């Protein structure tokens, strides 16, 4: 493709992506790789071998100080003070009305030091909200989103590949764990987290070092079938794994209970937090819509925004849909009325004004063998 795409930021790895012939796309203000050789091939590589992702667009917010933990507990729905050092959890930041501002991963790096990872498109909003909510606390927010490169290696062979380039004992980093050490001789944070439904690692380094991590892992993974993977396959991988995407399943008009993520909200933690009162009401009354998985039973692909029907009546809307590369069938996530959310319920998706049968199925669509 010729022509330039307008974006506020380019990943530090942009030259690598161009050399690999990637199709580029603007995403969350960043010029990022959508795909290299093809979404299906990249998807399969992650399920069967390993994939290398440039995620430098993600937001990295460091919070440090004696009140970093309590400050975050008051700012987010989860309780970061309950995390052991070297552990992480999934979290959300919500508005006072309980609407989701963003979904996050919170890592505890030290007793008084945390890393909050936000979505690219929301990084600025989250950074501003955290600054406001931490005001007056003995905690400093350091937004290093533009100074940090993030490279992920995901798939069953990722640990074997990464182990050849780091002295860190990866076997001691459990799922949702994080360790500091060196990768390819570069100081890095290595987390066993991801967005694919596979085992894998996310490696945070200072921006200029991103390219050296990318090159070192590319070389290390060559014989093992490692492939570069773009945002296109990242989306199909996370959808199969039943993981929500901000802007599709999550937004300001949705609360964590509707998204099926009420377990992330810790009412049992000490003190108030932004959104507590509103979310307690939701928890007591029950949500007015529920996120479900749909497997298409008729011929047609459900897509974002297509109406979901129960008999003739509209019951909800599709938030994400594609043909599952692993299953070979069209799958979707959708919000539907609570009464239509039980697995086994037969619904229909309005595909270009034609109702196509769809069955409510449990999430995730794909679970890796352990």
Partner 1 sequence: MIPSDLRYTKEHEWIRVEGDEATVGITDYAAEQLGDVVFVELPEAGRALEQFASFGVVESVKAVSDLFAPVAGEVVAVNDALTDRPELVNGDPYGEGWMVRVRIADAGQLSELLDAAAYDALTAEG
Contact status, residue 174 vs residue 103, Cβ threshold 8 Å: no
How far is C-alpha 103 from the geometric centre of its chain's CA atoms?
Answer: 8
Closest CA to 320 of 256, 240, 254: 240
Q: Phi and psi for 93 in degrees, rounded to 5?
A: -115, 125
Task: Mark 98-109 as b/e (b = at least 16 C-beta within 10 Å).
Answer: bbbbbbbbbbbb
Nearer to partner 1, 69 or 325 (CB): 325
Tokens of 97: 């009305």
Q: Phi and psi for 279 in degrees, rounded to 5?
A: -75, -30
Nearer to partner 1, 217 or 239 (CB): 239
Distance CA 25, CA 6 (A): 9
Nearer to partner 1, 236 or 255 (CB): 236
Nearer to partner 1, 69 or 230 (CB): 230
Show contacts with partner 1 in window 326-355 (CB under 8 A): 330, 352
Taking residue 169's Cβ as centre, other Cβ atoms within 10 Å add up to 10
Please tell me whether residue 3 binds partner 1 under the rule CB under 8 A.
yes
Closest CA to 334 of 356, 358, 353, 313: 358
Please tell me whether residue 235 binds partner 1 under the rule CB under 8 A.
yes
- In whole angstroms, the minimum distance from the beta carbon of 281 to partner 1 comes to 38
Nearer to partner 1, 352 or 370 (CB): 352
Please tell me whether residue 236 binds partner 1 under the rule CB under 8 A.
yes
Please give the torsion angle defined by the CA atoms of residues 298, 302, 305 and 309, in that order, rounded to the nearest 10 degrees: 20
Distance CA 103, CA 304 (A): 19
List the 100-110 sheet strands across, edge first: 88-94, 100-110, 113-118, 59-64, 140-143
Output the 3-class SS for 3-15.
CCCCCCEECCCHH
Considering only the stretches 133-141, 230-238, 241-249, 253-261, report the one whose residues sit in contact with partner 1 under the rule CB under 8 A: 230-238
Considering only the stretches 101-109, 203-211, 281-289, 318-326, report the one whose residues sit in contact with partner 1 under the rule CB under 8 A: 318-326
Considering only the stretches 145-153, 188-196, 268-276, 295-303, report the one whose residues sit in contact with partner 1 under the rule CB under 8 A: 295-303
Per-residue contact track with partner 1, 25 to 64, x per CB under 8 A?
---------xx--xxxx-----------------------
Nearer to partner 1, 38 or 66 (CB): 38
Considering only the stretches 1-9, 74-82, 99-107, 172-180, report the one whose residues sit in contact with partner 1 under the rule CB under 8 A: 1-9
Taking CB under 8 A as the criterion, the residue among 148, 154, 196, 322 binding partner 1 is 322
Taking CB under 8 A as the criterion, the residue among 323, 327, 362, 368 binding partner 1 is 323
Taking CB under 8 A as the criterion, the residue among 299, 314, 367, 368 binding partner 1 is 299
Per DSSP (E only), the strands in 169-212 are 178-183, 186-191, 200-206
Give the position of tokens 């069953």: 156
- In whole angstroms, the minimum distance from the beta carbon of 146 to partner 1 comes to 28
- In whole angstroms, the minimum distance from the beta carbon of 289 to partner 1 comes to 25
Please tell me whether residue 1 binds partner 1 under the rule CB under 8 A.
yes
Which residues make Cβ contacts (< 8 Å) with residue 318, sequence separation at least 6?
Answer: 294, 302, 303, 304, 305, 306, 307, 308, 332, 333, 334, 349
Nearer to partner 1, 48 or 112 (CB): 48
Per-residue contact track with partner 1, 5 to 24, x per CB under 8 A?
------------------x-
Positions touching partner 1 (CB under 8 A) are 1-3, 23, 34-35, 38-41, 232, 235-236, 299-301, 303, 322-323, 325, 330, 352
């Amino acid at each position: 493709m010729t022509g330039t795409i307008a974006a506020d930021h380019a990943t530090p790895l942009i030259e690598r992506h161009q050399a690999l012939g990637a199709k580029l796309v603007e995403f969350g203000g960043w010029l990022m790789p959508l795909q290299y050789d093809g979404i299906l091939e990249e998807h399969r590589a992650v399920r069967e071998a390993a994939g290398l992702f440039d995620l430098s667009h993600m937001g990295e917010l460091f919070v440090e100080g004696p009140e970093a933990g309590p400050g975050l507990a008051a700012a987010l729905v989860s309780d970061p003070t309950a995390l052991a050092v070297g552990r992480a959890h999934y979290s959300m930041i919500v508005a006072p009305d309980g609407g989701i501002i963003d979904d996050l991963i919170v890592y505890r790096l030290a007793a008084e030091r945390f890393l909050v990872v936000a979505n690219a498109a929301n990084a600025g909003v989250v950074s501003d909200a955290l600054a406001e909510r931490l005001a007056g606390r003995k905690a400093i927010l350091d937004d290093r989103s533009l100074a940090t490169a993030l490279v992920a290696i995901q798939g069953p062979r990722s640990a074997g590949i990464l182990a050849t380039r780091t002295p860190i004992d990866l076997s001691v980093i459990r799922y949702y764990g994080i360790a500091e050490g060196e990768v390819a001789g570069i100081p890095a944070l290595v987390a066993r987290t991801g967005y694919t439904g596979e085992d894998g690692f996310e490696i945070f380094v200072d921006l200029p070092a991103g390219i050296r991590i990318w090159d070192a892992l590319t070389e290390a993974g060559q014989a093992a079938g490692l492939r570069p993977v773009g945002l296109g396959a990242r989306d199909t991988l996370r959808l199969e794994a039943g993981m929500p995407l901000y802007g599709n399943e999550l937004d300001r008009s949705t609360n964590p209970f509707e998204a099926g993520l009420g377990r992330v909200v810790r009412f049992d933690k000490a003190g108030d937090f932004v959104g507590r009162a509103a979310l307690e009401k939701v928890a007591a009354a029950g949500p007015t819509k529920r996120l479900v998985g749909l497997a298409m039973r008729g011929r047609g692909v459900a897509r974002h925004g297509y109406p979901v029907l129960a008999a003739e009546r509209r019951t909800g809307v599709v938030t994400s849909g594609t043909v599952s590369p692993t299953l070979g069938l069209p799958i979707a996530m959708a919000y539907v009325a609570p009464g239509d959310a039980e697995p086994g319920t037969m619904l229909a998706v309005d595909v270009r004004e034609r109702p196509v049968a769809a069955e409510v199925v449990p999430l995730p669509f794909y679970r890796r063998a352990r």
